A and B are shown apart, each in its own frame.
Chain A
Amino acid sequence: MNHRVAIVDYGLGNLFSVKHACGHVGLAAEITSDRKEIMGADAVILPGVGAYGDAMDALRRLDLVQPLRDLAGEGRPLVGICLGMQLVMSGSDEFGWHEGLGLVRGQVVRFEHPEEKGRELKVPQVGWNHIRRTGPAWEGTLLDGLSDGVNMYFVHSFHVKPEEDVAVCLSRYGQIEFCSGLRKDGVWAFQFHPERSGAEGLKIYRNLARWLSERKQGIS
């Protein structure tokens, strides 16, 4: 049976590649900003590119902030991608302080002069970068089947700094090491784009589908 995934549409970003990736692994995904549809879904994906403040404003306008907090509080699957990862944090200092969803304690900060071999790296980071295990094995998680150090596709100027022990993978841009994936209860978040990271990235979507099946079996 197809699990229903709600891709939260708050006006920014390419939601279609997320939808196509879901479709590829047999998840029935809807792009929606409707609160009922989002709350009724088996899993919620919070994608996004663009500015932090604009994104939070849009979520407030759509009356989605509290529902997303409630959903996470119940331990239901919520996956943040790119800006969506940053939104689950306490807040960001991108162009002034903006409060986030606050599902994970910690801030979002800008890359400060990343350097490699004496050459200043460009910000945003655009391209493929390694993700490395932080400790616990990835087996049985959304990262199941990925090898330590696999490359994923990133586009970002800011990164999260969790103050809780939630990191599942780390990446390095120049001298700066940052958390590129985290998990806290039902909340998963990735700085990279699994839906644009080729066959390896699709494994994350496949694992999501499997996780939802197991959840459903556990509940019924």
Chain B
Amino acid sequence: MNIRIIPRLDIKGPNLVKGIHFEGLRVLGKPEWFARHYYEQGADELIYMDAVASLYGRNSLLHIVERTSREIFIPLCVGGGLRSVDDIRTVLRAGADKVAINTAAIARPELIREASMAFGSSTIVVSIEASRKADGTYEAYVDYGRQSTGVNAVEWAQRAVELGAGELAVTSIDREGTGKGYDVELTRQIAGLVPVPVIAGGGAGSVEHVRDVVVEGRADAVSMASLLHYNFIRTTDFSRGDFSMEGNLEFARGGRGAVQFLKVKDCSLTDLKKALAVAGVECR
């Protein structure tokens, strides 16, 4: 079975952003550049996540989704701020193939059932943002990792599948943006429990991390951001072509700032897939 490699693009307004533990978002550039690049490099799917929609109740992503789906012919999953069956329909009509829901699903789990009845289970990805508690259990968070819920993340995963989720995207808030590796234990607990595919997210900082969460965490798919974004930024000449640089990229290019504090050994999607194949992980 081919493990899916899924670049995750967090979007704020018109920009691709990246934070640490979902906070301190920095602008990296236009999401369309990155999407196009990853498509050409053999991404198996893409995830677009609206970083602020669930806080402000708006959907700024629609235009970006529409443009993307016209020129990129791989599955596109869109999440962030989707509250109802109507919201989901709007995003699907813009060209998304799947939607990811979290905040609204925890507030009203029946939304999962309604949405999977309306659009088919395979269209509905339940996104679970989890943080490890002192007692070793995991708690589900909402609103882009900002709000605790008291809900046990592993129990919620099972419930979400019973209600009709076709896939789960499980992100560790503790690892997100740190480059310290996925939370293998969190992934393993959920992937071993549910019959549907699990996409592991949060923490990828090297090829080995990706391998670990597949082999030991039993992830069916992996998503990553910094690992690929920083490589694209570092190796691309944005002063040419139609790139108009608006992001603050000094930090990502290693001049000064955050990236040097991070443990991200960035690599290209192509190299990531090659290295995984060598490590015995089948990829397309």
Q: Residues of A with Cβ closer than 8 Å to B?
A: 12-14, 16-17, 20-21, 23-24, 49-51, 83, 116, 119, 121-124, 126-129, 151, 153, 155-156, 173-174, 193, 195-199, 201-202
Contact = CB atoms under 8 A, between A and B. Distances in A.
Contacts of A122: 195-198, 220
Name A's interface SS: mixed
B73 A195 contact: yes
A117 B158 CA distance: 25
A51 B3 CA distance: 26
A9 B220 CA distance: 31
21 contacts: A14-B92, A14-B95, A14-B97, A16-B69, A17-B73, A20-B73, A49-B119, A49-B120, A50-B119, A122-B195, A123-B195, A124-B197, A126-B122, A129-B1, A155-B122, A156-B122, A196-B73, A197-B73, A198-B39, A198-B74, A199-B73
Interface in B76-97: 92-97
Q: Chain B interface: which size bin?
A: 20 to 34
Contacts of A83: 120
Name B's interface SS: loop
B4 A12 contact: no
Contacts of B71: 24
A211 B267 CA distance: 42
Contact of A127 (B4, B39, B93, B119): B4
Contacts of A127: 1-4, 44, 197, 220-221
A202 B92 contact: no
Given A16-B94, A128-B44, A153-B75, 10 more contacts: A12-B119, A20-B69, A20-B73, A23-B70, A119-B218, A122-B197, A122-B198, A127-B220, A127-B221, A173-B1
A151 B284 contact: yes
B1 to A, nearest CB: 6
Contacts of A17: 69, 73, 95, 97
Interface in B30-89: 39, 42, 44, 69-71, 73-75
Contacts of A129: 1-2
Nearest to A155: B122
Contacts of B44: 127-128, 153
Contacts of B39: 198
Contacts of B198: 122
Interface of B: 1-4, 39, 42, 44, 69-71, 73-75, 92-97, 119-123, 166-167, 195-198, 218, 220-221, 284
A174 B97 CA distance: 25
Nearest to B122: A155
B97 A201 contact: no
Contacts of A13: 119-120, 123
A201 B39 CA distance: 13
Most buried by A among B75, B93, B198: B75
Nearest to A199: B73
A116 B221 CA distance: 16
